[in-house]
Structure 1
Amino acid sequence: MTVRDRIDRLCEEYAPHEHRPLGGYAVAMGGFGVLAASLAAAAKVTGRPVPERPAASDVVLISIATHKLSRLVAKDAVTSPLRAPFTRYAEPGGSAEVNEEVRDQGSAVRHAIGELVSCPFCLAMWAATGLTGGLVLAPRLTRLAAVALTATAVSDFLQMAYSIAKEAAEGGRSPRALGA
């Protein structure tokens, strides 16, 4: 039995009634490993100090920026051209967001990337790793970018709170119908 036969058998045994792109997931995990190793190597080569304990303010800043960056990449209508090779538009998904389906045709790698780029939860680890690496390699620039992402996330929540408050104040009439 060849290695390829064993892999195919493993995939069939893992999910006999559903297509799960295990090979594509392995490639994505490898890509993440390359990203993390590259950041670690860059920190070592440049001699940048890695903090023993990140400041609480950086953890909060990076957390909120990670939330916004992962939603921006995975759900924003404007970033849909980045996802288009791997996903297909399904329907509107809320305020300036879209819901997309992963393309099933093509390779397991294409499918796995489609799942990754259309899932803000999946992308969060990548975004957090990049932003955290940025804090070590280019802290001022990373904090500046994180501030912009965090401000946008806070603004999003304020816009939604405003719409909810306005609707409640106007007796439950839809904010869309009122031109909000």
Structure 2
Amino acid sequence: MSIAEPFERVQHAYANGERRPLAGYLASLCSYGALVGVATAVGRRRGTRLPDRLTPADTVLLGLATHKASRLVTKSSITSVLRAPFTRYEKPAGEAEVKETVRGHGVRHAVGELVTCPFCTGVWIAGALTAGLVLAPKATRLVTTALSAVAISDWLHLGYDAAKE
């Protein structure tokens, strides 16, 4: 019996007749874990200590910045060039956003799901920004402030347009 056979049995039992890219999901999870491990190793090597707590302002900035960055990565017209190897354009989806469907199988499909899902990508972005607050707090606060300002500006644009109608 090969090492892959038990995994293939689990995948077959789970999929319920559908093509589900469990190997791709596993690769994504391992990649995320590896990146967290690298950030942790860098922090330890530099002697960086974790903050006792994050301030409410940091949490708000992280939330707004994660929201904006995840929308930019997963839905923005301008970043569609990054998603194109994994997706197919369907139609416009609102202000400067597009609707895309995932294409391919295995890892390609799993990556396509990740880069088209703001909820999924948000976990990665929040992790990166949180690591940034620990490893490079000044630069990260600058980035989170800028992304938060753009998010607030977007909502104000949408509110302004709605008020005109």
TM-score by length of 2: 0.96
Aligned to 2:73: 73
Aligned to 1:173: none
Q: 2:145 aligns with which of 144, 147, 155?
A: 147
Q: 1:120 aligns with which of 102, 118, 135?
A: 118
SS at match of 1:99: strand
Aligned to 1:43: 43
Larger radius of gyration: 1
Question: What does 1:1-180 correspond to in 2, within 5 Å?
Answer: 1-103=1-103, 105=104, 107-167=105-165
CA distance in structure 1 between the partners assigned to 2:75 and 2:86 by the alignment? 13
1:14-44 C-alpha deviation (Å, 9 max, x unpaired): 0122111000000000000011111111111
CA distance in structure 2 between the partners assigned to 1:44 and 1:8 by the alignment? 38
1:75-123 C-alpha deviation (Å, 9 max, x unpaired): 00000010011111111111100011001x3x41111000001100000
CA distance in structure 2 between the partners assigned to 1:58 and 1:48 by the alignment? 18
CA distance in structure 2 between the partners assigned to 1:31 and 1:19 by the alignment? 22
CA distance in structure 1 between the partners assigned to 2:47 and 2:60 by the alignment? 25
CA distance in structure 1 between the partners assigned to 2:54 and 2:42 by the alignment? 18
Which letter maps to 1:73? V
CA distance in structure 2 between the partners assigned to 1:13 and 1:117 by the alignment? 26
| Greater per-residue helix proportion | 2
CA distance in structure 2 between the partners assigned to 1:5 and 1:40 by the alignment? 34
SS at match of 1:17: coil
CA distance in structure 1 between the partners assigned to 2:63 and 2:35 by the alignment? 19
Unaligned residue ranges in structure 1 (runs of 5+): 168-180
- Identity across matched positions, percent: 50
User: Over aligned residue pairs, what C-alpha RMSD do you find?
Assistant: 1.0
In the TM superposition, residue 11 of structure 1 has moved relative to its aligned partner by 1.0
CA distance in structure 1 between the partners assigned to 2:52 and 2:40 by the alignment? 14
TM-score by length of 1: 0.89
SS at match of 1:94: coil
In the TM superposition, residue 52 of structure 1 has moved relative to its aligned partner by 1.6
Unaligned residue ranges in structure 2 (runs of 5+): none
Which consecutive aligned stretches of 4+ in structure 1 deviate over 3 angstroms post-superposition? none
